Structure 1
């Protein structure tokens, strides 16, 4: 994962894959590159975007790649309400949350104020050690609010 915020090359991504014990296939490198540039996308989004670049790929192959990358902590998977499927991003290893527009579905990152996981502690952990908290703020973005004022009042 790039911690400097700078652009990542295919060589950098291939190195990341190998460091996590994965072969640096064209599909894996392409998926990482796409999600780096388009965070919070679904598997369907990735497949549609890459089918020209990787004509022999299939929706199942994309799902398999996403699963491999998620299991090796190269991708974060987030399941959000009403989002049409799991969303993926390359921002991993930190304690950030999300804000989601209930009209258009746009998702953005929200940094945790506390900074370390878990940033919230439940009133009753039911004898479990809590190590992460996922928070999704749901609202309406300004663009949707301007086009749907009646919905914004809710």
Structure 2
């Protein structure tokens, strides 16, 4: 929790128990947790934490650049610590696992769209869909 408090101060955000608990939960949970998993972990520290309060904290932390919200079509929002690496994701169609995939081409934003010169791209999101190793092995 002390690390979370320091990170919040460094981002010039007010340090609250809810913010510390949610930030620590996102950093401690493996993979790309959903809001309910983050809330459950944060509640171990804060006691009661409403779903709305969890969403509010996640929004503040995302806007501050501390965490990343990943929106993948057909799935609930997922969260992870922001690493400023503009990575992409692979989603298993069978089990729903999500793993990180390094930038497809070069440095961020990794891809160049065929856009007018006046458009400024700062991020490119690619989602690869398929079958993970575990599910492929189970199907064999």
TM-score by length of 1: 0.80
Q: Secondary structure at the match of 1:53?
A: helix
Q: Which of 48, 54, 59 is the matching residue for 1:56?
A: 48
User: How many pairs are equivalent?
Assistant: 138
The equivalent of 2:87 in structure 1 is 96
1:95–1:115 contact (8 Å) kept in structure 2: no
Give the Cα separation in 2 of the matches to 1:48 and 1:15.
23
Q: Which of 114, 125, 131 is the matching residue for 2:115?
A: 125
Moved more, 41-50 or 74-83: 41-50
The equivalent of 2:37 in structure 1 is 45
| 1:107 CA displacement | 0.9
The equivalent of 1:27 in structure 2 is 18
TM-score by length of 2: 0.87
2:65–2:82 contact (8 Å) kept in structure 1: no
1:75–1:88 contact (8 Å) kept in structure 2: yes
Give the Cα separation in 1 of the matches to 2:70 and 2:97.
13
| 1:80 CA displacement | 0.8
The equivalent of 1:135 in structure 2 is 126
| 1:48 CA displacement | 2.6
| 1:115 CA displacement | 4.3
1:97–1:110 contact (8 Å) kept in structure 2: yes
